[in-house]
Amino acid sequence: MKRLTIVRIATAMVLWMTIGCTPSPRVVGNQEPVGPQSRESTVNALFAPPSPETIPGDLRGEQIRLGYKMIVATQEYGKRYVGNALNCTNCHLDGGLNPNAASFVGIAALYPHYHERAGRRVTLADRINECFERSMNGKPLPPDSVKLTAIVAYIEWLSKSMPSGSAVPWRGVPRIASTHQPDSPGGKKVYEKKCAFCHGSEGQGTAAAPPVWGPRSYNIGADMARIGLAASFIKANMPRGWGWTVTDDEAIDVAAYINTRPRPDFPGMTHDWPKGGKPADAPY
């Protein structure tokens, strides 16, 4: 057997074990686990982001608007802190207003809270900076900076109707429940057929879509670098704006493929999960 084939089989086995351990549906706050069907109906019933007309006309309103710009035009407004070609809205779709793509609506009510990856209590500002360092492959914003305060203000405004500590049923991404064995070479075929024409044949991005691997993508410490999470995001949201979808199996395979391509390193992640709780699909 060729060495490459052995490596591929070994990789596939490791990936299969990790996907097999995909966390059960999320429990947020004090509520019961939310499965795919009940998530959808709960979200349909409760998801109601405030309308932009309710942004106050004062200084606070200006902060909120700047925060929104930081999310949708991070390349421009957050330039100094970004180390890749992404904007927050590329994953937190529709400026954080999409209930299937790690929405920001309501989440301020959940902070501060203990974050296992950090091994400590984190504030919303800390969590935003984690995405700057990992998803954006960049640098954290200074704690009291106008720009960080603005993003916090935007997310707080999106959370104003959620009492502190209340449950956020749409939090995160709807997770796929599948025991399919990820097959990275199979994922390459899916990628070429269903992703490359927007994301580029080398994952480098095009005018139509951002990069999914390579030096201008998220780094290995990002949440999206985890196969289970990426597969769920892809299943729920890709291809963007087209009438067709991918199956669960295709999403798992293609997530395994893109997340085994080269991407920026993240040295800081050797300090992750200092007190345990590391998910099986973390890529290290």
Per CB under 6 A, the list member of 18, 22, 63, 135 interacting with ligand HEC is 135
- Determine if 171 is a binding residue for ligand HEC (CB under 6 A): yes
Q: Could you tell me the end-to-end alpha-carbon distance of the chain, in angstroms, rounded to an integer?
A: 27
Does 211 bind ligand HEC (CB under 6 A)? Our answer is yes
The verdict on 188 binding ligand HEC (CB under 6 A) reads no
* 128 lines the binding site for ligand HEC (CB under 6 A): yes
As a whole number of angstroms, the distance between CA 231 and CA 237 comes to 10
* Stretch 233-272: interaction string toward ligand HEC, x if CB under 6 A: -x---xxxxx---x-------x---x--------------
d(CA 82, CA 165): 31
Out of 34, 150, 195, 282, the only residue in the binding site for ligand HEC (CB under 6 A) is: 195
3-state secondary structure of 40: helix
Q: CB neighbours of 45 closer than 8 A, spacing ≥ 6? A: none
Residues 46-85 that bind ligand HEC (CB under 6 A): 74
Q: Give min distance, CB of 165 to ligand HEC, in A.
A: 13
Least Å distance, CB 175 to ligand HEC, is: 8
What is the C-alpha separation between 104 and 88, in angstroms, rounded?
11
Alpha helix (H) residue ranges in the chain: 3-20, 36-46, 59-72, 74-77, 93-96, 124-133, 146-157, 184-194, 196-199, 227-237, 248-258
Q: Does residue 218 interact with ligand HEC by CB under 6 A?
A: yes
* Choice between 15 and 224, CB closer to ligand HEC: 224
CA atoms within 13 A on the CB side of 126: 13
Residue 56, CA distances (Å) to 64, 85, 154, 156, 273 in order? 9, 32, 12, 13, 40
212 scored as a contact of ligand HEC (CB under 6 A):
yes
Q: In angstroms, rounded to a whole number, what is the distance separating the alpha carbons of residues 155 and 147? A: 13
Interface with ligand HEC, residue 151, by CB under 6 A: yes
Is residue 162 close enough to count as binding ligand HEC by CB under 6 A?
Answer: no
Contact region with ligand HEC (CB under 6 A), list: 43-51, 178-186, 215-223, 268-276: 215-223
Which two structure tokens, joined as six digits, stand for 198?
Answer: 């927007």
Helices 184-194 and 3-20, axial angle in degrees (round to 10)? 90
- The answer to whether residue 208 forms part of the interface with ligand HEC (CB under 6 A) is yes
For ligand HEC, the binding residues (CB under 6 A) are: 74, 86, 88-93, 102, 107, 110, 127-128, 131-132, 135-136, 151, 171-173, 194-195, 198-199, 208-212, 217-218, 222-224, 229-230, 234, 238-242, 246, 254, 258
